[in-house]
A and B are shown apart, each in its own frame.
Chain A
Amino acid sequence: QSALTQPPSASGSPGQSVTISCTGTSSDVGGYNYVSWYQQHPGKAPKLVIYEVNKRPSGVPDRFSGSKSGNTASLTVSGLQAEDEADYYCSSYAGTNNVFGTGTKVTVL
């Protein structure tokens, strides 16, 4: 049950795009189309922004998009805004358990 691998940090200027990767194995990310992404602001509970690889919950801006290729999933935030500065975590269903990524801190320059 090793954590999924994410880059520790990513950054971009307002209006630009940032893409975060999430690398697992064929037992989790690669084996199922059940990758979710969560946004967490300091001191707050996480919030779901993407589920089932590329679906957005109601109320999440379409600036957030997800994709997957093989054992790696990605989250792209387009048109970066100041409020997008937060920690982002991926998560995958893995059959008998679920697993989260190591987390990526996104900084808006």
Chain B
Amino acid sequence: EVQLVESGGGLVQPGGSLRLSCAASGFTFTSLWMHWVRQGPGKGLVWVSRINSDGSSTSHADFVKGRFTISRDNAKNTLYLQMNSLRVEDTAVYYCARGGGYAYGGLDPWGQGTLVTVSS
């Protein structure tokens, strides 16, 4: 069974840092693009970042550039999102999702999400 399990969310003060993890199983993690998508409370889905199969190519949404970094450890079948200089507006459920063999593939499946709350 293909499974993605996020962890690492929690309450953090503005300006703080968090590292999210996404443990993948049930498929060949090393062959596929991976993405992070977030959803603010009562809001819509917003794409955050993507990374290619070997980690050599990454892309981030403009609103997180310079603050968030996506990475992966293929030996551990794990995707990461390092989030620095967090802002109140970064409060959201963060989902990891499996892409395809290319950057443009549909995202399937998604993890259950991990909640990040940025508040003083």
Contacts and interface: CB of A to CB of B under 8 A. Distances in A.
Contact of A89 (B45, B60, B104, B108): B45
B41 interface: no
Given A34-B104, A93-B103, A100-B46, A46 B61 contact: no
13 contacts: A34-B105, A36-B106, A36-B107, A45-B109, A45-B111, A46-B110, A51-B105, A89-B44, A97-B59, A97-B62, A98-B103, A101-B44, A102-B44
Given A45-B112, A46-B37, A47-B110, 18 more contacts: A1-B61, A1-B62, A3-B46, A32-B104, A36-B106, A45-B109, A45-B113, A46-B45, A46-B97, A47-B109, A50-B106, A89-B45, A91-B45, A91-B106, A96-B59, A98-B50, A98-B103, A100-B37
Nearest to B99: A98
B47 A97 contact: yes
B95 A100 contact: no
Given A97-B59, A100-B45, A100-B47, A48 B104 contact: no
A1 B62 CA distance: 8
Interface of B: 35, 37, 44-47, 50, 59-63, 95, 97, 103-113
A38 interface: yes
Q: DSSP class of A's interface residues: helix, strand, loop or mixed?
A: strand
Contact of B106 (A52, A96, A97, A102): A52
A39 to B, nearest CB: 11
Contacts of A103: 44-45
Contacts of A48: 106-109
